[in-house]
Chain A
């Protein structure tokens, strides 16, 4: 087994310390008794209680969840369609424009995406609220879904789809019975990415949200402009814990899939 040289060990330790210490401090101070965020005065969970009684935060969280649910669903469907068109669609009129539009939102600064969508909604007189945020989020996150799904589509053997057609499937049946089950893991990770992007987004939402719909990031942003607060620490801790559990679960299930694959390979060898 390779051993880590002292240089590599140091750079990894310092690097990860840099990445994790700020978040650990937030987590630790969310259990601080005092409102002062720099002085430790004893353990308490009272800020979590405060947070749960804060109607404004709860409303914003509810709006965010709704937006995340609908926009990620739309983004997954549209992004999967887009990826399928890009990878399997062959030639059609305006293909270059289409692939450009699928790619551009990935590199477009959020301020410009937000500004342009807001100007659109104003010019068609669409009232700003949950609907506009959902539309905006679905649009930029469908491009991320498309990247994830198309990389899976590119890597799988096209003849599997042809075999389905050859055995009597219509193109739609071939997609439903063969392609979709094979790309399902990519579609699910695309959906998770879209959901995360929607839940996290501040800039685009603050352009297109109206007074009737404030998302959690907008609420958090306006309150941390005033400085560090223990309620935000508590909220951050909750979010960090959710993401950590989610990421670790995902990585464990990847690992399980790997183990299953290795077991399958062993079975294949023994059966030969």
Chain B
């Protein structure tokens, strides 16, 4: 298994880590070219801006993407992620700035001359051609000898496991199979870079999750660099070696899924990915620690900022699963607040408790349901304690 993948999958086990434990030290052979100043990027965006009339879709954006990466562009619709991808494919040209592929500016290269292929959100399969001819389409444009094309098409059909449907038309196969054909077609020409525009959004949830892992396997087998556009944060976290969170045409944070989840650089990123409590307050610095006063009559929150913060307004960001819930005041943790249960969202494997503080602030805490529902320990209106360690949350300057 490729290390980058490990990072991706690792995120889902974060919940089960003991609360407050620091991220495991990285193994030495980790796939992380972005940390190596010597590494040459495959793609480089340099101050790229794209405007459509008055609307700025991509705003002075710079980022490097490395070979063999599985790079996810994540953000709400209209954030500019699709525009970035379409500029890579050649369907849009930047208003200013340059995009380099392998060190060469690609703006003058038309889409049909780029060694970049794209898998479209709608799959864009040619309805009048069979599955086989769809996959062979790009190879025929390169005027390859017939037997070579045939061999490559068969290889692709095997790779995505749709040999049985080679002679069918796109409307005679299911949505999941169409998705595979689209993937095979875009991989057939062995592009340096494969772009995937919301590749799984048309599939239902179960199929989507299975396909995510398959996509990662295929990426590993072919060694192609993948850039995926998605608005589904779980998908980005699962598949990607690095995730770029975008909003209003800007990159907010580019980092590994673990870092994005555990160390968001802004309240926006924290809120966009997963469930989160954001508590605003005034910070005073006390050595490595920060004391945050956030409500009258409540003890200050003790936090550990990743970067030193100046005293003043800060946001304290903490995930609900990092907060423990108990009926007695815990003695081993310095952060503990008292409130009463306002609401319980029962999700089967776990429950999220909405706990109201005396000042009206509501804090969410998640607990695994180790017992059956009728014997859950807390119910509505129960007074409870919420507690967390000094390092469980993130302190962000405003």
Contacts and interface: CB of A to CB of B under 8 A. Distances in A.
Contact between chain A and chain B defined by CB under 8 Å: yes
Interface of A: 157, 159-160, 162-170, 173, 177-178, 181-182, 261, 264-265, 267-269, 271-272
A271 B174 contact: yes
B380 interface: no
Interface string B117-150: 1101110111110000000011001100000000
Contacts of B116: 166
Which size class do B's interface residues fall under? 35 or more
Contacts of B177: 268, 271-272
B117 A166 contact: yes
B3 interface: no
Contacts of A177: 137
B112 interface: yes
Interface in B99-125: 110-113, 116-118, 120-122, 124-125
Interface stretch (B163-171, B215-223, B231-239, B382-390): B163-171
Contact of B172 (A160, A167, A181, A267): A267
A167 B138 contact: yes
Given A182-B127, A268-B174, A159 B120 contact: yes
B176 A272 contact: yes
Nearest to B135: A167
B174 A160 contact: no
Given A167-B189, A168-B141, A169-B141, A159 B172 contact: no
Contacts of B142: 168
* Cβ-closest 9 pairs across A and B: A167-B138, A168-B141, A272-B174, A163-B124, A159-B124, A267-B172, A159-B120, A264-B171, A264-B172
A164 B126 CA distance: 9
Contact of B128 (A162, A168, A182): A182
A271 B171 CA distance: 11
B252 to A, nearest CB: 28
A38 B142 CA distance: 72
Contact of A268 (B89, B171, B186): B171
A162 B186 CA distance: 12
Interface in B151-190: 164-165, 168-169, 171-177, 185-186, 189
B118 A166 contact: yes
B171 A261 contact: yes
A12 to B, nearest CB: 35
Nearest to A166: B118
B196 to A, nearest CB: 12
A265 B174 CA distance: 8
B12 interface: no
Contacts of B121: 159
Contacts of B120: 159, 162-163
Given A159-B120, A159-B121, A168 B171 contact: no
Contacts of B137: 164, 167, 177
Given A167-B141, A272-B177, A159 B122 contact: yes
A76 to B, nearest CB: 19
Nearest to A260: B171
Nearest to A269: B174
Contact of B111 (A165, A269, A271, A272): A165
Nearest to B126: A178
A166 B111 contact: yes
A24 to B, nearest CB: 42
A269 B177 CA distance: 11
A265 B178 CA distance: 13
B191 to A, nearest CB: 9
Contacts of A271: 164-165, 168, 172-174, 177
A272 B168 CA distance: 13
Nearest to A158: B124
